[in-house]
Structure formats: C-alpha cells, structure tokens
C-alpha cells in the first residue's frame, strides 16, 4: 500500500532545488517502496525564486512567508535549506507544530543552537534528518560494513578531511556563508561538520581535540541579494567590498573514545582540491581510503597470507554495495552528488512512513556539535579540550 507524504521546502537556493528534485524522483527510483512525496509548498523570501521553484518542480503553491509552510495542515515534512541564521526559529516552530524536520547541516548557527533544535524535536516527538549526504555513497556504506564486521581488526588511525576551493578566488562574493552574523561558524560549520560526522560513523565518537583556525581572504566583493550562490564571482577590484567574519580553515588532532588516533582538517579556499571530502582508516589487520572526488571507488587493503598480492585493491561501486542496485544493475557505473541527496531524501521519507527515527538525525548532529564546541574552546585555550555533551534535558 502506498504512502503519500506532504512536503514543504523552505529556502529555494541551490540546496532547496536539490532537495525538491530528490523528493520528486523518489516514486521513479524507488517505485516498489510505494512512497509518494507530494510537493505541497515551497518558500523563499525572494518571490522570483519561490515562483520559479514552484513551476520547475510542480509544487502546488509557493509563498514568501515560511510560516505558511509550517501552518499548512497537508505538510508532514518540513525541509529547511535556508541560511543558518534562520534554522533555530524555523525548526523550533516546525517541531511545535508537530512536523517532521529535515535540516541541512550544521543545523544550528552554532553548537548551542543545534542543542536547542535537538531538544525541541525530541520534546515534540517529531522525527528528524540531517544533510550528511556523503554517508550514502554505496562504497562508504560498504566500508562501514567492513569495519563493523571486524575486517580491519582493532582500529588505530583515522585521517578525515574536507578540502574544497569554492572560496579560493578573492573575487568570490561575500555570500552569507562568509558572514558570522548569518552563518555563525565558517568552515567549522560548513565543511568540518561533514568530516566529523564521517569520522563518528567510521571510527566512533571523538573524545578530545586540539585545534586551530585561520582566515586567508579577509575581504570579498558584496553579493547581490537573492542572486547566485557561494560559488559566484563578483566585480573584484573597484566594487564594494565587505569583511569576511568567520574562518576559512580549521584543523585539529583528535583522540577517539576507543583509542583511535587521528586528524581532521577542512578548508574552503585551497587550490588543487576541488571537493576532497575524504578519509583514511587503519586497523591492526587492514585499511580503507575514500575520496569523494572519485566517489565510486574504494581502496581496500586487507593483506592475505600470499605476500605476492600484499597491496591495496581498488574496488568500484557495484550492485552488492548498499544502495547501488536502486540505480544501476552493473558495476562501475558512476553515481553522483545528486544521487546521494536522493538516497538521503528516500531514507528520511521512509523513516517518516514507518514512524521510526533513522540516522543521521538531530542526535547525530548534536554529537557533531559537541566536537565543534570543543574545537572552539581549543581555539581559545590553545590546548587539548575534552568533548562534552551540550544536550539539553
């Protein structure tokens, strides 16, 4: 028996479009599930964006008032893809209205706001989801299986990073992501949140950190409101400029609760790396490595007794890896970023249809926020800081 789920999307920039497309494709890609998302309403404070998204994806209506999305009795899932400054107000209002909430990372403007949002959803008893989409690469899910099955032995080392150069051009516009008052954290929220979540999923919770930060590009051309993305380039020399008020770069040493030793690093202005969301994981019996720039490949080192074949093996995504067979019947057919967002949307819609909380939800986002809080304390103390829960009771 099919399940129709009303969906409202708030924030129709690039990410809002990605989510809208994903929900629209669920009945095609996952036909046997019977899940039928119904695109009820999309909202954006820029009327042109809201109207164009409505026409493009077949929403039943659009609005410039996000509260109308939450007030609509036909909306069961509220998808939040606004600038971070709006997340707490929107998410808490959705929770109070009994709506299930999918929010893009890092959920709150800072760790304490993430704790507020997690508390509101838990108190209201609504289901939650978070946009840690890199989890869903089929070979990453397979790597996790190998770890859980003990194929690597006892874990010893983890190196995680998200190096991407979307802000490397000094003429890149001063979008909301570069402004502390609108985004809160910079790279620590935007990129490091993914690296921390992946570390938690693959190696276990981080117990303590020591970290640093740096801002390389301190001024940028002002953006035109309602136009472009954080990839857009402004007028450069001669045009109006504004201050970058959060960090371009973050790195840290990490000691995991289970004894694994590691590093985490993220940067938004680096040259060379284009979208290097990556990790290397080592154990007493083998190792794994993955890089989103080659997201359909996994390097596995599980040495056998025959030393003639003692070396890493490159595996290609294939139907035996979790989630792949829903897209392709044969191996080595490349999946994409949008495919991961589609898997993400389907997983959340499935949790709503079943009435069961899935992962990652706000609990996992709060675990990331706990580490971000410790990193911020380390910036100030310039020393090791324990990861402490900021969960509200």
Query: Residue 298 maps to which CATH number?
Result: 3.30.360.10
Q: Same domain, yes or no, for 125 and 226?
A: no
Q: Same domain, yes or no, for 124 and 147?
A: no
Please report the pLDDT score of residue 227 as a whole number.
55
Evaluate whether residue 13 is within a structural domain.
yes
Average pLDDT in the 103-115 region? Answer: 96
| pLDDT tens column, 48-78 | 999 999 999 999 999 999 999 999 999 999 9
Is residue 275 over pLDDT 60?
Answer: yes
C-alpha 345/C-alpha 343 separation (Å) is 6
Evaluate whether residue 373 is within a structural domain.
no
Parent domain of 231: 138-333
pTM for this model (two decimals): 0.94
Q: Same domain, yes or no, for 67 and 99?
A: yes
Q: Which of 113, 133, 153 is the last residue of a domain?
A: 133
Please report the pLDDT score of residue 304 as a whole number.
76
Average pLDDT in the 203-211 region? Answer: 98
Q: In this structure, how many other beta carbons lie within 10 angstroms of the beta carbon of residue 215?
A: 16
Q: What percent of the chain is predicted at pLDDT more than 90? A: 92
Please report the pLDDT score of residue 1 as a whole number.
43
Q: Same domain, yes or no, for 129 and 178?
A: no
Q: Same domain, yes or no, for 71 and 162?
A: no
Please report the pLDDT score of residue 239 as a whole number.
77
C-alpha 88/C-alpha 114 separation (Å) is 8
Q: Same domain, yes or no, for 108 and 154?
A: no
Where residue 88 falls among pLDDT bands split at 50, 70, 90? very high
Q: Which of 87, 110, 133 is the last residue of a domain?
A: 133
Q: Same domain, yes or no, for 167 and 268?
A: yes
Q: Which of 107, 133, 159 is the last residue of a domain?
A: 133
Q: Same domain, yes or no, for 96 and 129?
A: yes
Average pLDDT in the 335-355 region? Answer: 98
Q: What percent of the chain is predicted at pLDDT more than 70? A: 95
Q: Same domain, yes or no, for 30 and 160?
A: no
C-alpha 180/C-alpha 55 separation (Å) is 33
Rounded to the nearest integer, the mean pLDDT of the chain is 95
C-alpha 127/C-alpha 122 separation (Å) is 8
Average pLDDT in the 292-312 region? Answer: 88
Evaluate whether residue 123 is within a structural domain.
yes
């Amino acid at each position: 028996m099919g399940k129709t789920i009303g969906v409202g999307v708030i924030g129709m920039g690039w990410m809002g479009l990605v989510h809208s497309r994903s929900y629209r494709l669920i009945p095609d890609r996952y036909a046997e599930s019977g899940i039928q998302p119904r695109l009820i309403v999309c909202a954006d404070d820029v009327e042109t964006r809201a109207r164009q998204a409505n026409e493009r994806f077949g929403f039943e209506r659009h609005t410039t008032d996000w509260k109308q999305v939450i007030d609509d009795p036909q909306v069961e899932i509220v998808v939040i893809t606004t600038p971070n400054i709006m997340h707490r107000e929107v998410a808490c209002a959705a929770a109070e209205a009994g709506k299930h909430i999918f929010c893009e990372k890092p959920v709150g403007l800072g760790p304490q706001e993430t704790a507020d949002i997690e508390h509101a959803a838990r108190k209201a008893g609504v289901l939650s989801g978070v946009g840690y989409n890199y989890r869903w690469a089929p070979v990453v899910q397979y790597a996790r299986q190998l770890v859980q099955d003990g194929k690597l032995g006892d874990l010893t080392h983890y190196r995680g990073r998200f190096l991407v150069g979307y802000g490397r051009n000094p003429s890149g516009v001063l979008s909301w992501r570069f402004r502390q008052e609108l985004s809160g954290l910079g790279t620590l929220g935007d990129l490091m949140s993914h690296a921390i979540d992946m570390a938690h999923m693959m190696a276990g919770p981080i117990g303590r950190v020591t970290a640093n930060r740096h801002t390389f590009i301190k001024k940028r051309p002002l953006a035109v409101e309602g136009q472009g993305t954080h990839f857009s380039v402004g007028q450069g020399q001669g045009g109006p400029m504004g201050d970058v008020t959060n960090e371009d770069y973050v790195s840290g040493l990490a000691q995991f609760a289970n004894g694994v030793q590691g590093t985490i690093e993220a940067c938004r202005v680096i040259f060379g790396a284009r979208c290097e969301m990556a990790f290397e994981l080592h154990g007493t019996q083998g190792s794994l490595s993955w890089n989103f720039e080659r997201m359909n490949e996994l390097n596995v080192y599980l040495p056998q007794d025959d030393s003639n074949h003692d070396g890493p093996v490159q595996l290609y995504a294939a139907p035996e890896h979790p989630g792949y067979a829903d897209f392709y019947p044969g191996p080595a057919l490349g999946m994409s970023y949008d495919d991961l967002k589609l898997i993400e949307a389907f997983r959340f819609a499935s949790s709503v249809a079943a009435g069961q909380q899935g992962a990652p939800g706000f609990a996992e986002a709060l675990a990331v926020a706990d580490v971000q809080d410790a990193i911020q304390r380390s910036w100030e103390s310039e020393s090791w800081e324990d990861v402490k829960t900021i969960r509200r009771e």
